[in-house]
Amino acid sequence: MKRLQEERERLLAQMEALRNQIVGIDRAIAVMGGTELAPPEERQSVRGHNVKNTVLGLVSAAEASGLSVNQVIDSAKVKGILLDRGTVSSLLSRLKRENTLDMKDGRYFIRPPVHSADSKVHAIR
């Protein structure tokens, strides 16, 4: 039991280190792209339906590669938007349950529209 707990702690520390590396890379990308991070006092917190729009916009921009919860938060941070991790995680789960998003390997992406053989579009004359 103790070995499993130690392994868990080691993995959590690795995850945190990787998150920090990703944030650093995102900052470098933003600087190279001419979109530097907004200073903390200029960052905005997002509430209500804006969270949904922000998250859907970020996931949509990632296209087929998708984004993890942390990548959504980090991508928003690069744009100067602060998102609460719990809110984002809950929203992504709900959007998956509502069939707006799909998830594979911990990454969320926009679900492509389903076209069945029975659903044909007919022009109105």
**Domain span holding position 68:** 2-110
Q: Is 8's pLDDT higher than 60?
A: yes
* pTM given for the model: 0.56
Q: Is residue 125 part of a domain?
A: no
Within-domain flag for 117: no
Measure the CA–CA gap between 45 and 24, rounded to whole angstroms: 21
Q: Is 122 within the bounds of a domain?
A: no
For residue 16, what pLDDT band results from cuts at 50, 70 and 90?
A: confident
User: How many domains is the chain built from?
Assistant: 1
The answer to whether residue 70 sits within a structural domain is yes
Beta bridge partners of 45: 82
Do the domain assignments include residue 36? yes
Answer whether residue 68 is part of any domain: yes
Mapped onto helix, strand or coil, the DSSP state of residue 24 is: helix
Task: Provide the pLDDT confidence category of residue 46 given band limits of 50, 70 and 90.
Answer: low
Identify the CATH number of the domain in which residue 86 sits. Answer: 1.10.10
Query: Phi and psi (nearest 5°) for 67?
Result: -135, 145
Under DSSP, the state recorded for 110 is E
In a domain, 94, yes or no: yes
Asked if the model's pLDDT at residue 94 lies above 90, the reply is yes
* DSSP at 41: G
- Whether the Cβ atoms of residue 109 and residue 64 lie closer than 8 Å to each other: yes
Q: Comparing 46 with 83, which gets the higher pLDDT?
A: 83
Quote the pLDDT of residue 73. 92
